[in-house]
Amino acid sequence: MTWLEQLRNSRFPILAISVLLVLLVAGLLISVASERAIREQMAREAGAQADLLASAVSGALAFGDRAAAQDYVDAVQVNPNVLAAAVYDERNRLVASFARPGQDIPAVARPRDHATTLFRDGRLIVVRPVEQGGQRLGTARLRLMDDPPMQRFMRYASLILVLALGALAVGILAVAQTALMRANRELADQAQALRDQIRDREKAEEALRQSQKMEAIGRLTGGIAHDFNNLLMVASSGIELLERTTDPERRRKLSEGVRQAVARGAALTSQLLAFSRQAPMKSAVLDLRGQIEGLRFMLERSLREDIALVIDIPGDLWPVEADAGELELALLNLAINARDAMPEGGTFTLSARNLAGSAETPDAVRLEITDTGVGIPEATLSRVFEPFFTTKEVGRGTGLGLSQVYGFARSSGGSVEVRSQPGAGTTFAITLPRTRKAPPPAPAPSAGASDRESGGAAVRRVLLVEDDDGVADSVGQMLERLGLDHVRAETAPAALALFEADPAFDLVVSDMVMPGGMDGLTLARTLHDRAPTLPILLTTGYSAAAAAAGSEFPLLLKPYRLEDLDQALRTVAAGRGA
């Protein structure tokens, strides 16, 4: 069976083999049928000739006229296929005969009572009885030449030729088909390999972008730590002073200061988290003015106090199409570079203007980032966008910052150029093409006080799932302040058990990342399966967890204030309970 397997695996089209077989069988059948017909015809003709001889020779045989018998026998010679002819009497003794050279005639023949026609040893032998008026007088016998093999071969040569041509055509077609199939397969393999490479490359690029972000954050760390220290200073001193004073007015001012410090810290971390989140590159229509204003806080953190940040962006700036995260990262990279270029302090200017296009060049927006630093030497100016090219000492930079800026500009369909005078500062100019698409609608304003009462379901009892005792305690107090009863569970399984025992909860507030083998998201899904109308609010301080929750459940980011919690609870209750 192995040859069969090989045949199957050879990919030689099975159809071609079938056609060849059919051709072969058909050819054989035709040959056999034709051969048989020709032999029958031969036998018929020989039989007729023998009949003629037997009929003619009867008188001569009956009355012993040898000469007459010989005349009849000799007449048969005109047929060149007759090798020998003989007439035997009733006792099978030879009466008259002729034989071509090499043929022998037995003097006594083998008795044969009936007409006989047989092919033997390439000879056709025909025996016919000689009878007259019912009297048996003897036999007439003919020996004829059967077709020699060469003659037979010639007869079928044309058929063989046609068959061979057919086989050749089928074979060529099959080979061509096989080659085509193989080429197709190779092409498909190559395309798949190419797709794999592209995917790997995209992954690598994605990883590179993320690492570039992380690198920028690392370089921001100093400034952020500085900020946090300031905030903590405000908070700790405020609390300390709160404990030492009883003056209500003073206490109010102190607690207001602490609250503001905490709010700033929260804003800072939320911006960091948003910045570092892993998101696929996605082009969107951007309003540069809004984007850069939103980044002002981060930019300030990345610069030092001795560097002034000037943002000069007109309100009628055309929209562009780019990835918002990449834009932020590019500006941050440029700000950090500027900071390092201005050890003595200076001014960091972000300006933008519209560039009206012409017939050849389309409309564009030019974004200029200028510092008043030491400038870039002529020799290195042409290399600043090369990946891993850095003039900074080891540990201070990876050389990926400006290459990210370059990559951002190119992937957004724009360009970036740099001008610098040593000692007179540097200007990076990013040109982005104008987009005709409409900018996305501004995010809807947060629900006002008038919406708070729109929730249909009244919330009385809350299941609080939180592993951290401190957080649980403070959130518990917040809930009490909002006039809600609450039951706390330390883990998700414990919360499930509580809910099983007593499902009379109006709402669930759960942390997302918890020990105990089940996270908040899984708990929320499980509870949602059991009670689809039960409102669930997830809280977290982890950006990764926040991304995981997605839009599946409402999310409240830590840290949050009482007001935030109140609003979130009302929104959740209204949305789910309605």
- Long-range CB contacts for residues 225-231, cutoff 8 Å, separation at least 24: 227/264, 227/265, 227/268, 227/301, 228/265, 228/268, 231/261, 231/262, 231/264, 231/265, 231/268
387 DSSP assignment: T
Q: Are 173 and 16 in contact (CB under 8 A)?
A: yes
- CB closer to other proteins out of 63 and 153: 63
At 546, which amino acid appears? A
Q: How far is it, in rounded angstroms, from Cα 535 to Cα 574? A: 9
Q: Is residue 95 close enough to count as binding other proteins by CB under 8 A?
A: yes
Least separation in angstroms between CB 166 and other proteins: 57
Return the closest-CA partner of residue 537 out of 515, 560, 516: 560
Stretch that binds other proteins, among 39-47, 56-64, 155-163, 274-282 (CB under 8 A): 56-64
Q: Is residue 534 close enough to count as binding other proteins by CB under 8 A?
A: no
Stretch that binds other proteins, among 91-99, 141-149, 221-229, 562-570 (CB under 8 A): 91-99
Return the closest-CA partner of residue 558 out of 531, 536, 538, 573: 538
Q: Identify the residue among 56, 341, 400, 537 touching other proteins (CB under 8 A).
A: 56
Return the closest-CA partner of residue 183 out of 11, 416, 382, 377: 11
Q: Identify the residue among 60, 84, 85, 231 touching other proteins (CB under 8 A).
A: 60
Q: Is residue 13 close enough to count as binding other proteins by CB under 8 A?
A: no
Q: Are 335 and 348 in contact (CB under 8 A)?
A: yes
Q: Identify the residue among 49, 53, 89, 539 touching other proteins (CB under 8 A).
A: 89
Q: Is residue 58 close enough to count as binding other proteins by CB under 8 A?
A: yes
- CB closer to other proteins out of 8 and 93: 93
Q: Is residue 97 close enough to count as binding other proteins by CB under 8 A?
A: no
Least separation in angstroms between CB 64 and other proteins: 4
Tell me the C-alpha to C-alpha distance, in Å, between residue 213 and each of 199, 263, 277, 362, 405: 21, 24, 9, 31, 12
Convert residues 437-476 into a mask of x (bound to other proteins by CB under 8 A) and - (unbound): ----------------------------------------
Q: Identify the residue among 63, 293, 503, 561 touching other proteins (CB under 8 A).
A: 63
- CB closer to other proteins out of 65 and 340: 65
Least separation in angstroms between CB 93 and other proteins: 8
Q: How far is it, in rounded angstroms, from Cα 238 to Cα 258? A: 6
Q: How far is it, in rounded angstroms, from Cα 538 to Cα 554? A: 6
Total residues interacting with other proteins, rule: CB under 8 A: 20
Report the DSSP beta bridge partners of residue 420. 426
Burial of 270 (0-12, 13-18, 19+ CB in 10 A): middle
Q: Is residue 64 close enough to count as binding other proteins by CB under 8 A?
A: yes
Least separation in angstroms between CB 133 and other proteins: 3
Residues in region 106-135 near other proteins by CB under 8 A: 132-135
| Binding residues for other proteins (CB under 8 A) | 56, 58-60, 62-66, 68, 89-91, 93, 95, 132-136
